[in-house]
């Protein structure tokens, strides 16, 4: 890389970081500005009252609780559905596989409003009233596809001979699934659970049509914006970013620690093999 290319690379990288983090920095600053408008300009002094107002907002806490409950339910339902779909798609071949794959992935490509309206109409026809339970069912209808794609990618590296060997040794299909296949799929299952959780947390379109009279966090924020946005929204956003950053940091530290443990085990296994060879 020559000097000119290196300069362009650094300029591009700096512009990219600025584009990503400048709005977040302004939003974070506005959360501490003693100004009724959610802006850092004009600066009217440092205050923590927006965080105090947020803590006293019981509607927000109820909405946050509903959001977490819905997200956990979506994870619990999406994981088995997505995993079963991936195993099914991986076990067949030919045109049937292609058709089944397209059908299962199609919900990802649909607009959220379409999924929300169709979910509401379908379940109303079978006398199921709207509510958070309907939000869960609507979100699962497309979030399970994300889980399926992750598990399907992991299945590409699975050696089918391991299943056959376990069955030849007398294991039942349930034992093969529990002791051979699921341990291999565990990284994809963890990733699928995380994606399902965060997809549900940020979902708005499906939830808006199916929630009934209950609120979730995204709907609460939308209602606040409609009624007149205040810096409490900035305080809420700053808290969510802080929680997300802490979780990402914990995950990264845990991942590095696990990588070191696995590297140490591999090194110990190599030393044992070398000792046996001698």
Query: For position 135, what pLDDT does the model report?
Result: 93
pLDDT in tens, 201-253: 989 989 989 988 888 988 888 887 777 777 888 888 888 888 888 988 998 89
Longest Cα pair distance anywhere in the chain, in angstroms? 77
Q: Which residue has the tokens 């810096």?
A: 231
pLDDT in tens, 171-186: 888 888 888 888 889 8
**H or E stretch covering 46:** none
Q: How far apart are CA 21 and CA 24, in angstroms?
A: 5
Q: State mean pLDDT over 118-130.
A: 89
Q: Which of 198, 183, 258 is nearest to 75 (CA)?
A: 198
Residues facing 33 on adjacent strands: 46
Provide the mean pLDDT of the chain.
87
Q: Which of 216, 277, 236, 179 is nearest to 53 (CA)?
A: 236
pLDDT in tens, 255-275: 899 889 888 888 888 888 777
Angle formed at CA 73 by CA 109 and CA 214, multiple of 5 degrees: 85
Query: For position 139, what pLDDT does the model report?
Result: 94
Prediction pTM value: 0.80
Go through 24-61 and write b for each residue having 16 or more CB atoms within 10 A of its CB, e for each that does not. eeebbebbbbebeebebeeeeeeeeebbeebeebeebe
Cβ 235 vs Cβ 38: under 8 Å: no
Residue 152 has pLDDT above 80, yes or no: yes
Percent of the chain surpassing pLDDT 70: 99
Confidence of residue 1 (pLDDT cuts 50, 70, 90): low
Angle formed at CA 152 by CA 258 and CA 204, multiple of 5 degrees: 90
Cβ atoms within 10 Å of 171's Cβ, excluding its own:
16
**H or E stretch covering 203:** none
Confidence of residue 67 (pLDDT cuts 50, 70, 90): very high
Residue 70 has pLDDT above 80, yes or no: yes
CB proximity list for 59: less than 8 A, separation 6 or greater:
215, 220
Residue 149 has pLDDT above 90, yes or no: yes
Q: What is the DSSP letter of 179?
A: I
């Amino acid at each position: 890389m020559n000097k000119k290319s290196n300069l362009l690379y650094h300029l591009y990288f700096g512009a990219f970081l600025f584009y990503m983090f400048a709005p977040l920095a302004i939003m974070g600053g506005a959360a501490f500005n003693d100004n009724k408008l959610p802006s850092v300009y004009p600066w009217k002094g440092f205050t923590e009252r927006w965080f105090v107002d947020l803590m006293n907002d019981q509607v927000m806490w109820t909405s946050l609780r509903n959001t977490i409950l819905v997200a956990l339910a979506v994870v619990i339902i999406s994981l088995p559905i997505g995993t079963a779909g991936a195993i099914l798609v991986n076990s067949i071949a030919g045109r049937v596989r292609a058709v089944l794959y397209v059908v299962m992935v199609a919900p990802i490509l649909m607009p959220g409003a379409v999924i929300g309206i169709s979910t509401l109409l379908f379940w109303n026809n079978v006398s199921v009233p709207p509510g958070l339970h309907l939000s869960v069912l609507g979100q699962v209808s497309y979030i399970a596809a994300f889980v399926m794609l992750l598990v399907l990618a992991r299945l590409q590296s699975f050696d089918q001979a391991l299943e056959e060997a376990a069955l030849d040794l007398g294991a039942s299909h349930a034992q093969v699934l529990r002791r051979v296949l699921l341990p291999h799929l565990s990284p994809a299952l963890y990733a699928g659970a995380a994606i399902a959780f965060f997809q549900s947390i940020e979902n708005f379109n499906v939830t808006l049509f199916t929630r009934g009279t209950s609120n979730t966090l995204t709907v609460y924020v939308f209602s606040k914006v409609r009624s007149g946005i205040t810096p409490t929204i900035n305080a809420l956003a700053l808290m969510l970013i802080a929680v997300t950053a802490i979780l990402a940091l914990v995950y990264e530290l845990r991942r590095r620690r696990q990588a070191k443990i696995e590297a140490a085990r591999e090194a110990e296994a190599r030393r044992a093999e070398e000792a046996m060879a001698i």
